[in-house]
A and B are shown apart, each in its own frame.
Chain A
């Protein structure tokens, strides 16, 4: 039951994009088309889940026993950067079509704050291994959800008559504001 709560909390109530402002760069940059939004969401969810597991292992099996928690940030970011490279090489080797859909988004993910944020939050909340994993999946699902909703709205906005200064990033932020407002309706659904 606790795992379900962690999943829902990460995906909807404390949505990474709309409540924690993590992963805003891809949220603005890759939300123009629905198809690329879905691919980006999948790539992020994939990397998030793996990195949640790997950073948990690094933190609890290396940093804590050797008493070098001060290296947390350096270790996490290095692990994430190399992980993204590995995943990219692996996908290129295994599945060409998958690489063509996700390929260009993978390098961008290294500097996606949502991935590092996830690792940091999992440590702060003292999740165990399984909980961290579920937290990763949930956060990825939440990111995908926000990105897909946004892309859907922006495809419709193409037809709207937006004042010139607000075209692009301006209107995206304002739409995000109303989305965040809607997602706040979930607050209090569960407290975790």
Chain B
């Protein structure tokens, strides 16, 4: 029993840091870069992706013995696309502002390699419970990166975080940070930072 507890928390924790989808595996970069011009958008995208990831992980681990091996990818994609449609309609109905800010990047969750990657690597081989935990960990790690990235860009680009103005009048916003080049630069520095921390930890 004790052993199983450890493995479940490991399933969760590896998504946060050791196998973090964005910083380590470099999966799901398109939405990461595209929607993080503000922290709110980052969180919304992270939550939508996590919802799709969790739902399809549960569904696919339930169906893992029924889906024929040869057509599994097509099967996964249809399941993912269905949940993406649900998320898209939900956002459009209840949060029209966020929906229009994210635009076509919500439907593009379908081709987020992070989701398909977890299905192929984990849910198709593991029980529902473990797949759920794995999806939750990966989703949490993804939300975390999107939030950090969105906060940095919003702080430097508009002087605020989560629409709360933090920097005063003296601050001249760097337009650069909320435009595409800022996204690439910030993510590049974050990836470098994550590698540097890992290297230090290995040496220690």
Contact = CB atoms under 8 A, between A and B. Distances in A.
Contacts, number: 125
Given A24-B30, A25-B26, A70-B89, A116 B181 contact: no
B188 A171 contact: yes
B188 A21 contact: no
Interface stretch (B9-17, B79-87, B153-161): B79-87
A79 to B, nearest CB: 11
Given A22-B30, A174-B185, A177-B188, A164 B199 contact: yes
- Chain B residues touching A, range: 35 or more
Interface in B185-200: 185, 187-189, 191-193, 195-196, 199
A184 B89 CA distance: 33
A25 B22 CA distance: 11
Given A25-B27, A78-B78, A169-B26, A116 B110 contact: yes
B199 A165 contact: yes
Interface size band for A = 35 or more
Given A124-B104, A172-B188, A173-B187, A23 B182 contact: no
Contacts of B103: 124
B11 to A, nearest CB: 24
A21 B34 contact: yes
A181 interface: yes
A19 B82 contact: no
A178 B181 CA distance: 7
A5 interface: no
Interface string A149-181: 000000000000001111001111110111011
Contact of A111 (B104, B116, B189, B193): B116
Nearest to A174: B188
B180 interface: yes
Contact of B191 (A111, A113, A173): A173
A28 B182 CA distance: 17
B195 A166 contact: yes
Q: Which among A22, A111, A112, A171 has the greatest number of chain B C-beta atoms within 10 A?
A: A111
A85 to B, nearest CB: 9
A126 B73 CA distance: 30
Contacts of B1: none
B88 interface: yes
B74 interface: yes
A173 B74 CA distance: 31
Nearest to A18: B180
Contacts of B108: 22, 113, 116-117, 120
Given A22-B30, A70-B85, A184 B184 contact: no
Given A21-B34, A180-B180, A166 B110 contact: no
A178 B27 CA distance: 22
A70 B183 CA distance: 31
Contacts of B73: 81, 110
A77 interface: yes
A1 interface: no
- Per CB-CB distance, the 3 closest pairs between chain A and chain B, nearest first, are A173-B188, A177-B184, A165-B195
14 contacts: A20-B34, A21-B180, A22-B30, A24-B30, A25-B113, A77-B77, A77-B110, A78-B74, A78-B81, A110-B73, A110-B77, A170-B195, A177-B183, A177-B185
Given A173-B185, A173-B187, A176-B184, 8 more contacts: A21-B180, A24-B30, A25-B26, A81-B73, A117-B108, A166-B188, A174-B185, A177-B181
